[in-house]
Structure formats: C-alpha cells, structure tokens
Amino acid sequence: MVFLQIFNYIWKCKKYIYKTNQILMFMMTITHLFKAAGGHTLKIRIALVVAVLFSVCTMQAQSITVSGTITDAADNAALPLANVVVKGTTKAATTDFDGKYTIDANQNDILVFSYMGYTDQEIAIAGQTTINVSLATNATAVDEVVVIGYGSQKKSDLTGSVAVVNVANAKQTVTYDVAKMLQGQAAGVTVQSSGEPGGFVNIKIRGMSSFTNNNPLFVVDNILVDGPYDFAPGDIESIQILKDASAAAIYGVRGANGVVIITTKKGKAGKVSVNFRSLTGFQNVRNKIDVTNREQYQQITNQAYVNSGQTILPGNDPASQYYINDVDTNWQDAAFRTGRIENHALSFTAGSEALSYNFSVDYFKNTSYLKTPQSYERYTTNLNVSGQKGKFKYGGKVSYTSSGKENFNSYNGESAMTALLQAIPTMPVYDENRLGGYGGADNLTQRAITLNVIGFNNLIRNRTNRNRFLGNIWGEAEIVKGLKYTLRASADQFNGFNRMFTPPSDLGWYYVTENAESALTVNNDKNLRTIVDNLINYDVVIGKHNISAMAGYVMEKETYYNHYSRGVGYTPGENDHLNYADAISGGEFESAVRRKSILGRLIYTFDDTYILTANFRQDKSSLFPEYNNTGNYYSISGAYKVHNDVKLPEWWNALKVRGGYGLLGNNTIGVYAYSPTVNPFASYLYGNTLAPGTTVTSAFDPNITWEDTTTANVAVETGMFNNKLQFTAEIYVKKSTGLLMGVPLPYSTGAFPASITTNAGDVRNTGLEFTVGYSDNDHEVKWGVNANLGTLKNKVLKLGDSGDPLPGINSMTSVGRSVGEIYVYEAEGIFQNQAEIDAHATQPLAKPGDVMFRDVNADGIITDDDRTYQGVTIPKYSYGLNFNAEYKNFDFSFGFVGAGGNKVYNGTYNALMIGGLLNHSTDELNYWTPQNTNTNVPRPDVLESNQNARPSSRFVQDASYLRLQNVQLGYSIPLKDTKFIERIRVYASGQNIFVVTKFTGYDPDFMSDGLLSRGFESGSFPNPRTFIFGIEASF
Amino acid sequence: MKTFQIKNFIVLSALAVMMTGCVTDEDLVQTDPNLDSELAFWKTDEDAVKGLNAAYSALLADGTYMRSTPLLLDLKGDDMRSNSPWVAMANVGKFNSSVADASIYGWAYEMCYQGIYRANQVLTKVPAIEMDAELKQRVLGQAYFLRGLYLFHMVNFFKNVPIPLSLEELKHPQKTEAEGWAQVKADFQMAADMLPASYTGITGPDADQKGRATKGAALAYLGKAQLFTRDFTGAKATFESVMNLGVYSLVSNYRDNFTTANENNSESVFEVQFSREAGGVALGWGGIPASDWGKTSARAITYAPRGFGWTDAQPTWALYNEFHDELTANGQVDPRLDATIFYNKPGVMLYGQSFQQYYATSPADLNDLFARKYQNSDGDFANEMDWRSGINERLLRYADVLLMYAECLNETGNTAGAYTYIQQVRSRVGLADLATVHPNMTQAQMRDQIAHERFLEFALEGHRSDDIRRWGWYQDPAKLAWLKSRDPEFNSYTPGREYFPIPQLEMDTNPGIIQNTGY
C-alpha cells in the first residue's frame, strides 16, 4: 500500500515536471523577477552573476581543522544540526546526524557552540584539533528567534503582540489552506470555513476592524500576499501572527487586520536529508438534517394548499391520476458519499555553508462528499536556497503551485446545500426521458421550483485552474561591522483560468436549458505583483546599550488583466468548444496599482532588561486620489524583563511586562473606486436598431481615503518551574476609524449598486487573551498541554454622518452595538382563535394557526418597525486546547476548538420551515391544526398570507460550540538499521470528530460574508468528519 | 581587493535602484483604463443623445418592462390570476406582497429610480453642452418625458415616494401622492412643450427613429395623469390636443398591437422597444449594463401556456365569460377573445401545434385558460423557453386615448358625446353601434359601459388594476364584492394594499420614510 502510494506519487511528479508549459512559466517568472527591478535589470543581473561566481571561488587562509561531537549534557545523546561558529566571523558549521562537526579556523580563534533551547558555550581552540562539547538545556528555552517583518528578534525581546504558532499542532489539521490550520491555535484568531474542497477560508485577528475586508496580510518568505491560497502547509516551518500595531506597524497600511508571517523550510548545511510524508483520508458529513419523506411532504404541502383555499396539486392528490406514489427520494442519501483526501510530499535538504537548499514537492487532492464532480487538486513545488560567503549572504526562493478546482454551481446564487435539502421527495434523481438523464419536477403536477442539485452539478462543467509562481532573490552585504544592506526582489504571479460549460438539458420545469441558453464562459486572469525591498540594518552594542536600527524603501507594482469569452447556443452533444457556439462575445478588464513606502524601526535594549521599539512606515498608494494618497503609520512599544532586574524566587524563571501603542492602516478598496466613470453599454434601440447609451450607473465618493486603526496592548508573560509552565495574559483595545464601506443607499438614489464606498464608521474591538502551556519532558511519559482563550467585544462607535444603521441579511449594524447583530421580528406564539387575532396588534390576513409577532413599538400594528435586535453574532470568546504526549514509540495528541456567546440566524432551517411547495423539516409535521394546538409550528400556507416564515426569532439559535478538532495516535517503528532509513512513523488521526452545540444545522462553523451578515447561515457546505492514515519517513 | 570591488559594485547598483526606484510619483496616479471618466463625458451632442438613450434603456430591465412591471399591473386586475409557485409573484394579485421579500415589486422600484437617475443626468448636464438648439430641446424634452414616465409608475405603485430632481443629494425625502402627481404632470407638460409630434422629417441623429417619445406621447400621458387625479376638464382638453395632432389612428387588425408584425404602428402612442435582432443574447436583467446584453423581454415565457413557458400569469374565467356578453354585429364571438386568450377551441393552434391535441392527455390544461396576447405563438417559434421575446410592449395605444377621452366627456356631463369615441374602438372589432344597442345611458350606466369596454379592449395590458383603483372600487363594498366574485384573489384584499409596500431597503436607508398603510 505504502509503496503503491510512493510509486503513485513519483509518477504524478513526473507528469507534473513534464508539463512544458509549467517549465516555461518558471522561465517567464524568473524573467519577471528581473523586471521587478525596473530599468536596472542589467546591473542587478551583473551583480548576481558576480555573486554566484564569487561563491564558487574559495578563499584560502592559514588555518587548522577542528572536529568533534556535540552532545546533550543531560543524556549524552548526539545533537544533530547544532551550530558551530568561529567567533567574530561568519564561518560556521553544522553537526551531522551523529552530532559530528568539522570546521576550519585559525589556531587562536574561539568557537561558539549553540543549539536551540540550549545554553551557548565558547571554547578557545588553542591548537586543539578535537573539541567535544556537551551543551546544557537553557533555562530560558523559549528564546527562539521569531520573524517580525523585515527582520527577526529573540522571542523574549518582543515588545509587541506576536503569537508564535505551534506548527506541529497546527499541522494536525489536514487541509489545503493555512488559514484553516490556525483555527484554535492562537488566542484572538477566529476562522470560519466550509467543507467545500478548495473553498475560501475566512480568518480574522482580533475582531472586525473593517466593513470591507478583515482578512489579515500574509507574508510568505518575505513576500506580501493577500490570501493564503496556493501554499502547501507541509512546507511551513514557522508561523507568527502579528496582532497589534506594535508588531504590525512595519506593514503600515496593510497591517490593520493583523499579519500572518509564514516561513517555509530552509536548507541546512549538512548531509542530505530526505523526508517523505503520505496520508490518505476519508470524509463524511457528520450529521444529516431531518427532512420529510414523500408521504409527509405531500401531507404538509396539501395542507398548505387547503389552508390557502386552493385545490391541492394533482401530483400530491391520491384521488388524481397524476398522484405520485412511486418516487420517494431521500436527497441527502442520494447525494452524500465518502469523500477522499490525499496528501503526499517529498522534500530534500542539503547543502554546504556556501549554498544550502530545501526542495519539496507536494500533492494534495480532496474529492467532495457529494456525488458530484467537485474536487480540489494541487501540485506544489518549493525551492529555498541560501548561502553565505564572507560578508555576503544571498538566497532565493522559487515556488510554483498548480491547482485545479471543480466548482460547485449555484442557480441564481442559491446555496447547493439549501437546494439539496429543499428538493422535493417526489422528484427522481435520474430520469432517462429528460435531456441529460436527470430527474426534474413538473409544472402541472408538482408545481415546485425545485432544483436537482445532483443533476445540475453533474451536467455543468465548471473548472478553475490556478497557477501561481512565488519567488524572490536577495542579497545581504555587511558594509562595515554591524551595518548590513539587503536588496530583495520578489514576484508573485497568479494565472487563473475558469471554464464553465452549461449544456442543453432538462432538469424539469423552470430548470430547462434551451439550446439557445446553453453557454460556455472562459475566463483568463493574470495578476502580477512585484516588490523591491531595500533595507539597511545597523546593530551595535555599546556597553549595556544594545541598538538595532532598520530603514527601508519598498516599491510595489501590481497589474491585473482579465480576458473573457462567452459563447451561447449549443445543440445536445455538440462539441463544447467556443468555436461551435452560435454567438460569441468577449471582453477584457485590466487594472494597475502602484505603491511605495519608506519604513524604519529602532530597537533599543538596556542591560537585557528594558526594551523599547519604535516602528514607522509611510505608504503611498495609487488606490486613492493623489491628494489623499499618503498614509503615515507608527508604533511605540516597550518591555520590561522583571526577572533580569529583580530577584525572583527560584521556581520563577521569567516575568516580562510589555505594552505598546500604534497606528495602522487598511486600504482594501477596489481599484479606481474614487473616480467617477461612465458605462457605455446602457444601450436602447429604436425599431430594431441598437442605439448606444452611456450613463453614470454608480455613486462615487471622490474623497475616500485610508482606514486607520489604533491599537493599545498590554501584556504579562511569565515562565515558571524551569519554564515548564508558560503563561501570557494580554489586554487590547483596537479602534478603527474612517472605515471604508459600501454604505447602502436608498433605491431612490438611483445608483447601482445601491451603495457608495466611503469612509463612514468607527469601530472598537476590545479583548483579553490568555495563553497557557505546560510541558513535562523529564519523564518517560513526555507530555504537554497548550490552551488559549480570546475574548472579543465589538462596538460600533460611528456610522456615516447621520448615524443611520446599516442593514445586512436579517441583521442590522448600528451605533452602540456590535457589527451585524441579528435584527428580526420576534415570534410570541401561535394564534389559537379569531379572538386572539382581534385582540392582538393588527397582522393583516392572519388566521388561527398563524404566528403571532410581538408589537414591540406598541403602535397596534405589526410593521418592520417591530423588528428588534436578537443577538450578537461575533463570538464573545473563542478558544483552543491542544494536548500531546509521548511514551516510548507512541505519540498521542488531540485538540479542541470552540467559540461561544454568539447567535446565528439559521437560514437553512428557515428555508425548511416555510410550509410551502418545497421540502420541509420534519419539525413542520407538528403544524398547528384546530386539533393540534399545543405547538409552536404554524399552519402551513402556500401563499404565506401571514408571512409566518418571515425572518424572526423562530430561526435564531445559539451558536456556541465545542469541537474535537483532531485526535491522533502515532507509532514510530523501531529500526534496526538506521543507515538508510532514519525514521518511520505511522499514524491514524481523526478530524472534526464531534461537536457539542445547540445549533441544529449541519455545522455551527459555517462560511458567511464575515461582515454585516456574519451570523447568517444559508447552506454553507458542512465541514466533514475525516479519518486519516499516514506515514512519515526520513532517509 | 576583489571582494572590495564586488561589494562596492553591489552597494552602488543597489543604491541606484533605491535612489531612482521603479515606482515614481507619476505612477501613483492611475486612471481606469476600462471605462471612460465622467469628466470627459457630457461634452458633445453625441454624448447628449447617448445619455438620453441610457435613460430609455432602463425601460428594458427585469424591474421594468422586461418582466416585473407588466406582472405588477396585470395580476392585480380581475382579468388575470397567478398560480405561480413563486410566492412573491403569486401574491402580487392577492394583495399580499411581503415587506420582507422585495422581489418583483422592489425590482420595479429599484429600476424606475435608476431610470430617473439617468434622466436627471441628462436634465442636469445637457443644458451646458454646446450643440444644435433643436436637438438639445428634443433631448431634454424626452428626458422630461422619461422622468415623468418612471415617476408615474412609482406614484401609481407606491403612492408616497421620493422625488429625485437633482444629482446633488444621495437621499431624497418621501413626498405625498399629490406632490408626486404634480411632478409627473409638470414633467409631461415640459416634454409636451419641447417635443415634436413625429421624428419623421426632422434633421439630426434622431431623424426617423421609431420609439422615441413624441409630443403626442407626452400629451397622452399628461392626460392620463390628469385623469388619474380626477382633473377631467384638464384631461379632456389634453386628449383633444392629442387627437388634433392628427398622427394617430386605430390599426384595422386588433392583434397587430401585440405581435412583432406591426410594431410602432399608427395606433401606438408610446411603446417600449424590444427586439431579438438588436444587441447581444445575454439576458439583461439589471445591474451594471454589459456589452452583451440582449434587448428582449421575458414577459412571453412568464405568461406562456403550460409547456411553452412558465404559466405564471393566466387570464380569469371572468374575462373569458365577459367576452361572451356581446356578439359582434355579424353574430360572431368578439374577435378580441381569440387575440387575448388560448382556450379549448377546435382548430386553435399554439406555437405551431393544435391546442386540443397538445393538451389532450392533460384535462386540467385542456380546460384552462392561457395568455395569448404578447405571446410569440403564431407559429414562428416552438416555445418561449429561451426567455427572449422581441415583441414591443405597447404602453399607450390610441384606443386608450379614445376611451379615456370618452370617460372625460362622461365625467364632465357630456355622456351623449362619449358614444362616438367608444364606438371607434368597438367598430374595429365589428361590434354594433353602441348608440343603437344601449342608447341614452345615464352617466352611471355609461361609467359601467366604459369599464366593460376598457376591460375587454385592454385585457392583459395592465390597465385594469389602475382603473379599479382610480374608480374607487376598493372603497365601494358592492364593487369589491363583485370583484371577489369574479376573481377570488380579491378575497385577500385589505385596505391600503391597492398600493405595494415600499421596499425594506428604502425603509432602512431613507430616514423618516413612512410605510404605506396596510403593511
């Protein structure tokens, strides 16, 4: 089985590599890298060529060769990949897997031995050729180096709020998307996702600070990217999340939503290491929603017809010749199947001091749990190269991703899941008499406008291919001691392709696709972003004063181009290429964005006790009019390491207090949003002759500018009992002003869309964040537990000039409340008789058995003024808990995630409780009749005379949940001969095992707009339960 | 030495990159290459005409005459009913439109205001353009007409509505119904004063173009607005000036008013242009206009007989029966019945098939009534399933001018004078002389006669619901009971619901706006 997979993988790699267009792409993108440097291509090219040449010629010096073994002082185990540096130089070596090293040095040099988590040791060579060292674990083992944006810093020196994600824990969630991995991994980070293979993932850091875009900035190997798409999570070495202005101000206008910094694996000098990982898994929908079967459906629908005074439909009438009693489709049973998930990866690491590399290939595939072609498949390659020669460091990255996604199709934007649940049981899945072979409903006998989701998605072919190249090259030169100059050119090129073909078909009445309607659309997208970073760093130590300064100049270009073609008119079975369409149309769209920024940072440390950090960034962007195009951002933060100043008890290892304040920006608006344009396609006709028409269709605000976010953050960090116990507590206030948003306009304005993008609104987010961890590695059973909790309180401070609330879907955003609170009618029972209706505030056309709505404003009539706020949709708290343990060759881990204190509007349940022509929830069976009065389900009425199913408190639910996100059991196979195979581990894991919640839909963690209608659930694809079997091997 | 040189070289070249940069200050100003700036528009006579065309094009969207507006007008009458599974549609004629679901009626609201916005752009920007004075007057006159026409629909459907007259404000306050009608009349009066009676023979880019608003169209609509506000004297004078233009006459074949065969004919005072030949084939429901939008109507598929479209709107039996009240002078059934309704009649063909054969296996359909007016059912098409009907929607026919004029005569005390104008409409379809059949009617009898004549002449043309309301039948218990007996959809009428609710988005975003009573 395993060998089959390996073989399978290699075969796929071959297929991949031999795709010539991709090789071509590679070449092209390298070219773009050079283009990124604008008119200075030649100089840079020469510089690089020289640099490479330089790295090849070896500098000879008088020296001796020192070798030895580095071991752990505690158990004398060899320490592989430990570092040996000749003090005061950049000469370095790394131990091999047996802890052995060899290094050339001068006789009177001093060697510095270091290993992460261990205390450094310095030993003078003094003529020795063999130096064996045993290193002791460091009391402050947490002192790893973290990437902070245009630089790095020791974790203990951080003054801003930076969450360092435990990548091992995060990776236990097998997913295509990095954002999904972060769920439950850091306090204050919330994730919303759906179970659609390759679907979008919504991630927010510290609440909602924008009405247009709350997605954080992702920085992958120093390249700024807007979305976490197209990266193989397996390549990731570290993830840092910058949460406050103190940390993120260096990203200026991009930092307001937080920054996720991802670093992929780099090569290490040492022997060649090969790692192989492979997993395969099975996915199922965890639960089903109870809907009525044929008889129950017909009973309720007939009652709905009777109640509205109409004759029941022939298909549902046992007395009719058209009565349907031979079809009883359970659409969930018909649609669900076991989906597959696969991930195989191979990586090579090797190198010398002059050049080391990490190369990886990764294959991911996920097929849907629905019997439709929907799937997601991705190939990724990533190459990181770095090296050093004297005072010159250099490196680069090339990553290429090619993915294919078969998309779900929605009819008029309706969710496929909702349509599936609403599909009537008297419609067959298959019907060979209809064009296309799938069943449908009939106008006369069934009347329901009901979509055969299975047929619809199997007939339409809708595929998106994404090809993405991400790369950079950089060089760093130490000009004088402590002064370094870095030049980096990055390119991020995305090519997208979508092809959607809707063939002629007959899916029953209303869903007929005539030949003339049959259509093919082809879309080609290309987005290229190039960034040139120029950075100068200066580090100096003067006595107890430690100063680290950085200044930079960044230029960025982004261009987008889209070309689309559309062909309509195909006969059944006709070649579906564009050329065969009866009519072809097309068009193109392009846009360009230019940015430039200057940035700077100063870190001052006194005696390793007091630390002060200041960040500054000025951004200029073409997204705004010239007179508004500059934004200045800054932050100031400080930390006080109490443990270095005050004598703490023996067991108390570390105590640090830090705090900061700063200003961040957000520029997420559409291109050209400020400039009024005219639309030339509003044409009319006279007789049969087209007459071109031009008009302004949209409303523009010529004065739009950046959103600003200020954050204040105070935290306490502490470590106890040899730092086995770590605890951090943090409080923050994040205030965003001048939020850009599409403010809804009255239809009477006449603009389309009926909204205007403008700076209108202030929002404040406040919260507490706690992280606690305990680990015990001293005993045979090694174990650790990490937990985090974030609270969030969101409050709208201002909306526009007038303070008019903003409507969302069944929600309202208003001053003094949180964004997107549910705003609906309040149901207060069922009218039992006419007397109750007469006594109640007027509800025109209400009859006994209809829902009674509360007259909130007591004006004697139920109107839209009687809608009230029915709940906060942003979770008041979210948390994660991860546990892992090791015993001998076994390892075990699990992780919980959860959120709570929020309400959602269950739109799917609403859709199943209409009591009309579409299928019903089984709850609907308990509908009111004069005999069945003790119920909260109203009488069904196909005409909805009382609008019983209008948005109301009937469909508002508590969305708090606790999910067993993953559980994993691993076993490392004991190997006798470790010469070839280093390690083999096999494991089994489960994801999304159970959820504790009162929410009655598929999944309380659903995809929504994440903004004004955040709490509106409307048929998001449920996150599946997944079982995975995997193997990891090192050679 | 070597190291030093290389280092310097790198530093220098990097500094060069840094100093000059690849993003300049000029780069920071980017203009939209995809669309032209408004700043460059509204400069020439060509721009003026294009701006005006755009104001017309709002007539073609889903909310207006592509689909929603005919439904909103038709379904509330006793000539039509809906068994649509689409609750928002089925409830239009049942007076039960939901405030929470603005489908259809809200689309009409949205689209008419987009039309007003476009007309206001013309009225605001064109006066400053240096161009031929006569052409400018025609352009502005049509813009006034269109603003009046869209606003007519808004007041007629929604009663107290905002009246945007400028581009300055984003929010326009709600006005009374009376203020609304006053503005409608003012706009039509302006249009009537500025427009030519015909585009035939004029010079300019609009020469000979069929479908543009004329003086006659503006006057006829002005008269209609006067009639709707019970200014019978004013309306009478206005309709007289329409007739005195001498450009209108009834076409001999009644069905020529509802097919592509004889569009923009002598009877047509104003009609919305649709065509399968012009524009692309995409369905231009609404939104941001695209180059591939077609110029067709979805009315035919929506109203079509079962099997040929969606059958969302069907004639009532009351209409079918009333056609049988009076035979023609030759003793035949009123020929307007067969032009209006498909029913179980030997020999009737629909879409090239025999009605009786097609529905032979489906008795429910065989004995039902289906819309025939405005259907492409005469044999050229197999069905309406591609959504694209090219039949122009006749908004105002000369027959309507004649019958409205007759009504004005009757209401202003000249009942005897009404006969002449009613008879012109009757004679076309071979009905006997009314003065012989029903001589010497009282004013009240004549009112009922005019109601009967209008019911049959304009069935499925959206006039009945307006008539019922302006005649006060909703407030007349006897008339309301009679309507309920003819069309059970009236059973769920409650006071105030002769108007549609103001859409929720407007309620939520326009401060101080008050919802219509009854919702």
Q: Which of A684, A752, A812, A847 to mutate to test the interface with B (most CBs of B within 10 A)?
A: A684
Our CA-based measurement puts residue A48 at a distance from the nearest CA of chain B, in whole angstroms, of 9
A142-173, pLDDT tens digit by residue? 467 888 888 888 888 888 888 888 888 888 78
Task: Report d(CA B36, CA B384) in Å as an integer.
Answer: 37
Closest partner CB to B96 (pick from A751, A752, A945)? A945
Would the CB atoms of B91 and A944 count as touching at under 8 Å? yes
Minimal Cα distance from B24: which residue of A?
Answer: A596
Instruction: Please give the structure tokens belonging to residue A630.
Output: 């500059």
A692-714, pLDDT tens digit by residue? 999 999 988 888 888 899 999 99
Instruction: Please give the structure tokens belonging to residue B500.
Output: 């549609």
Residue A49: per-residue pLDDT: 35
Would the CB atoms of B27 and A622 count as touching at under 8 Å? yes
Would the CB atoms of A678 and B35 count as touching at under 8 Å? yes
pLDDT(A61) > 70 = no
For the ranges A194-208, A642-656, B414-428, the lowest mean pLDDT is seen at: A194-208
Residue A62: per-residue pLDDT: 54
Would the CB atoms of B505 and A477 count as touching at under 8 Å? no
Contacts of B159 in chain A (CB under 8 A): none
Contacts of B385 in chain A (CB under 8 A): 512, 514, 517
> What is the band of A43 on the pLDDT scale with cuts at 50, 70, 90?
very low
Residue ranges for chain B with pLDDT beneath 70: 1-21
How big is chain A, counted in residues?
1035
Q: What is the pTM of this model?
A: 0.83
Beta carbons of A212 and A668 less than 8 angstroms apart: yes
Minimal Cα distance from B309: which residue of A?
Answer: A510
Element (H, E) at B118: helix B105-125
Task: Report d(CA A393, CA A371) in Å as an integer.
Answer: 53
Minimal Cα distance from B16: which residue of A?
Answer: A40
For the ranges A289-293, A407-411, A716-720, B83-87, the lowest mean pLDDT is seen at: A407-411
Contacts of A54 in chain B (CB under 8 A): 3, 6
- Higher-pLDDT residue of A848 and A981 is A848
Minimal Cα distance from A533: which residue of B?
Answer: B18
pLDDT(A29) > 60 = no
- Higher-pLDDT residue of A589 and A413 is A589
Residue A52: per-residue pLDDT: 33
Contacts of B31 in chain A (CB under 8 A): 672, 675
Task: Report d(CA B410, CA B420) in Å as an integer.
Answer: 12
Residue A74: per-residue pLDDT: 64
Q: Mean pLDDT score of chain A, rounded to an integer? A: 86
**DSSP conformation letters of A84-106:** EEETTS--EEE--TTSEEEEEE-
Closest partner CB to A692 (pick from B36, B53, B94)? B53
Closest partner CB to A516 (pick from B52, B386, B515)? B386
Beta carbons of B90 and A939 less than 8 angstroms apart: no
Q: Which of B50, B368, B376 to mutate to test the interface with A (most CBs of A within 10 A)?
A: B50
A733-742 mean pLDDT: 88
> What is the band of A1034 on the pLDDT scale with cuts at 50, 70, 90?
confident
Our CA-based measurement puts residue A989 at a distance from the nearest CA of chain B, in whole angstroms, of 46
Contacts for B321 with CB less than 8 Å, ≥ 6 apart = none
Minimal Cα distance from A842: which residue of B?
Answer: B518
Our CA-based measurement puts residue A846 at a distance from the nearest CA of chain B, in whole angstroms, of 10
Our CA-based measurement puts residue B450 at a distance from the nearest CA of chain A, in whole angstroms, of 33
Would the CB atoms of A694 and B51 count as touching at under 8 Å? yes
Task: Report d(CA B54, CA B41) in Å as an integer.
Answer: 13
pLDDT(A23) > 80 = no
Q: Which of B24, B97, B386 to mutate to test the interface with A (most CBs of A within 10 A)?
A: B386
Would the CB atoms of B10 and A36 count as touching at under 8 Å? no
Our CA-based measurement puts residue A748 at a distance from the nearest CA of chain B, in whole angstroms, of 5
Q: Which of A564, A747, A851 to mutate to test the interface with B (most CBs of B within 10 A)?
A: A747
How big is chain B, counted in residues?
519
**What is the crossing angle of helices B105-125 and B45-57, to 10°?**
170
Task: Report d(CA A231, CA B414) in Å as an integer.
Answer: 84
Beta carbons of A978 and A78 less than 8 angstroms apart: no
Contacts of B109 in chain A (CB under 8 A): 747
pLDDT(A75) > 70 = no
Would the CB atoms of A756 and B37 count as touching at under 8 Å? no
Minimal Cα distance from B506: which residue of A?
Answer: A746
Task: Report d(CA A143, CA B87) in Å as an integer.
Answer: 65
Would the CB atoms of B295 and A569 count as touching at under 8 Å? no
Our CA-based measurement puts residue B100 at a distance from the nearest CA of chain A, in whole angstroms, of 7
Angle at the Cα of B478 from the Cα atoms of B474 and B482, rounded to 5 degrees: 85
Would the CB atoms of B32 and A591 count as touching at under 8 Å? yes
Beta carbons of A293 and A425 less than 8 angstroms apart: yes
Strands B353-354 and A92-94: unpaired
A321-331, pLDDT tens digit by residue? 999 999 999 99
Would the CB atoms of A683 and B279 count as touching at under 8 Å? yes
Our CA-based measurement puts residue B280 at a distance from the nearest CA of chain A, in whole angstroms, of 8
Q: Which of A305, A464, A31 is nearest to A943 (CA)?
A: A305
Would the CB atoms of A40 and B18 count as touching at under 8 Å? no
A639 phi and psi, to 5 degrees? Answer: -140, 150
Strands A259-264 and A217-220: parallel
A499-509, pLDDT tens digit by residue? 999 999 999 98
Minimal Cα distance from A509: which residue of B?
Answer: B310
Would the CB atoms of A752 and B114 count as touching at under 8 Å? yes
Contacts of B153 in chain A (CB under 8 A): none
Question: A527: which DSSP letter?
Answer: E
Q: In whole angstroms, what separates CA A817 from the centre of its chain?
A: 27
A995-1000 mean pLDDT: 94
**Would you say the ipTM is above 0.85?**
yes
> What is the band of A140 on the pLDDT scale with cuts at 50, 70, 90?
very low
**DSSP conformation letters of A243-285:** -SHHHHGGGGGG-TT-EEEEEE----SEEEEEEEEEEEEEEE-
Contacts of A317 in chain B (CB under 8 A): none
Contacts of A448 in chain B (CB under 8 A): 85
pLDDT(A11) > 60 = no
Residue A33: per-residue pLDDT: 42
pLDDT(A1027) > 90 = yes
Our CA-based measurement puts residue B329 at a distance from the nearest CA of chain A, in whole angstroms, of 36
Residue B15: per-residue pLDDT: 54
User: What distances in angstroms separate CA A160 from CA A637, A839, B458, one per listed residue?
Assistant: 7, 62, 75
Q: Which of A694, A698, A756, A867 to mutate to test the interface with B (most CBs of B within 10 A)?
A: A694
Beta carbons of A205 and A256 less than 8 angstroms apart: no
Would the CB atoms of B14 and A485 count as touching at under 8 Å? yes
Would the CB atoms of B289 and A43 count as touching at under 8 Å? no
Beta carbons of B431 and B334 less than 8 angstroms apart: yes
Helices (H), A636-736: none
Q: In whole angstroms, what separates CA B295 from the centre of its chain?
A: 15
